[in-house]
Amino acid sequence: MPPLADFGRRLLARLIDALIIAIPLALLEWGTSDRWVYETRSGESTGDVIGRAYSGSGLAWNLVGIVAYLAYDTIMVRRDGQTVGKKLMHLRVAMLNDGSVPSTSSALTRTAVLWLPALLCCPCLWQIILIITILTDKPYKQGLHDKAGKTVVVSTGR
């Protein structure tokens, strides 16, 4: 088994991966957001806005984001154990038992535990929990997502 990855490189890789998904999604949402708000105006001559109705696009974009993050991470980790961020930081995800590339089910489980809590309810709190588990876990430096997928993050030595 290659040496375990250090926390700083893991964090930087995760930030790179988050930006790879977040920036295009934000640009797409920004480009379409004004089309989904409908204003109700009063019948008076002032034309004051008395209410707004939203079409549910926020929920739709949340679902798109969930699918994008899950698909990106699962597909990349299943392919060769590396996302773009991990490649740039010379890291890879490996199965704990033998160092192999994670199976689809392990990659999906790992990814779901990594992203779903952050995307659905508590992004800051969930990231802090993951950081604490990585920093305090002995001997494998596993976050909760690694434990769920039975994986570790290792250095590729480049």
Domain that holds residue 128: 7-155
Residue 32 neighbours by CB distance under 10 Å? 12
56's tokens: 């549910």
- Per-residue pLDDT, 121: 84
Q: Is 1 domain-assigned? A: no
Q: For the chain, how many structural domains are there in total?
A: 1
CA distances from 101 to 34, 40, 130, 149 (A): 43, 55, 22, 12
Residues of the chain with pLDDT under 70: 33-57, 158
- Per-residue pLDDT, 16: 98
51 residue type, one letter: G
Render pLDDT for 12-52 as a digit per residue (tens, 0 to 9): 999 999 999 999 999 988 877 655 445 555 555 444 545 55
Q: Is 2 domain-assigned? A: no
- Per-residue pLDDT, 43: 52
Helix or strand or coil: residue 53?
A: strand
Q: Is 31 domain-assigned? A: yes
